[in-house]
Each structure stands twice: as structure tokens, then as C-alpha cells.
Amino acid sequence: MIYLTKKIEFEAAHRISNYPGTCSEIHGHTYYLEVTVSGKVDWNTDMVLDFKILKSIIQTGVIDHFDHALILKRNSENEKIFSSYPGKIAWMESEPTAEQMLLWIVSSISPLLPDEISLAKLKLHETSGSCASWKDNKR
């Protein structure tokens, strides 16, 4: 099995509405996302997957949704506070922690991958010193 990793970054703001500290305030990050997929080499192309295709999948599945957005949990408090917000809001069913964003990304990217390619690992850097990782435990 061969593993390919594509790194991409995006800018977003969020707030953790049920958090008792300063993260309950709107704040932003430059997120760095590493997406690792696995598969067998296609001997017709000598590749597992063209990096351009993987980049396009990440663009459609993640960047188009989160980049330059305010990421919020969909709850009555946030819907009331941000009802007249004119900018881009990316609503989530959970708090937009790095951990929950990873789970959202898994469910968003996996269906977009070609049948013979599997999502193997994700790493989301929220800051230069803090990141969360997800790994497919079936591998």
C-alpha cells in the first residue's frame, strides 16, 4: 500500500460556545490540514492518485466550506447572536473544536474519493504548536 499526503491551509474563525474560557470568544486561526490517502499504484498511470485530483477533492470537501468562514455550532444561542451576520458561516452540529472538525472532514472527504482510494489519516494544525489527528484504525 502506498500513502500520499497533501497539505493545504485555510483561514477561519470560530468560537466554542460551551467553553468557560476565552475560546468562547470569536477568534481566528490559520489552519494547516494534512490529508493522507492510501491505495495501490495504478500501473496505467504509475500513480495511486494524481495530487491535483486530491487537491480538488480537499477544495470541494473542506476548503469551499471552511475557508474564510465563521465556524459555529448550530444551536439556539449562536443562531440568535449571529442571525444578522452578513458573512460566511459554516454551521456544525457540534462545537468546532479541532477534534470535531476532523470528524466532519472525514465524513466530507471520504465519499469524494475514488473507490480504490481510502482516507488513511488527517492532521489539523490549529496553531503552530497544537494539532489534532485522525487515523483510520482499520489499517
Any idea of the CA torsion for 50, 132, 101, 60, to the nearest 10 degrees?
-10
Q: Residues comprising the binding site? A: 14, 27, 29
126 is catalytic: yes
131 is catalytic: no
The catalytic residue among 34, 79, 95, 126 is: 126
Q: How far apart are CA 130 and CA 102, in angstroms?
A: 14
The catalytic residue among 23, 34, 99, 131 is: 23
68 is catalytic: yes
The catalytic residue among 9, 25, 34, 68 is: 68
Q: Residues comprising the binding site for Zn(2+)? A: 14, 27, 29
Q: How many helices (H) and strands (E) does the chain have?
A: 4, 6
The residues assigned a catalytic role are 23, 68, 126
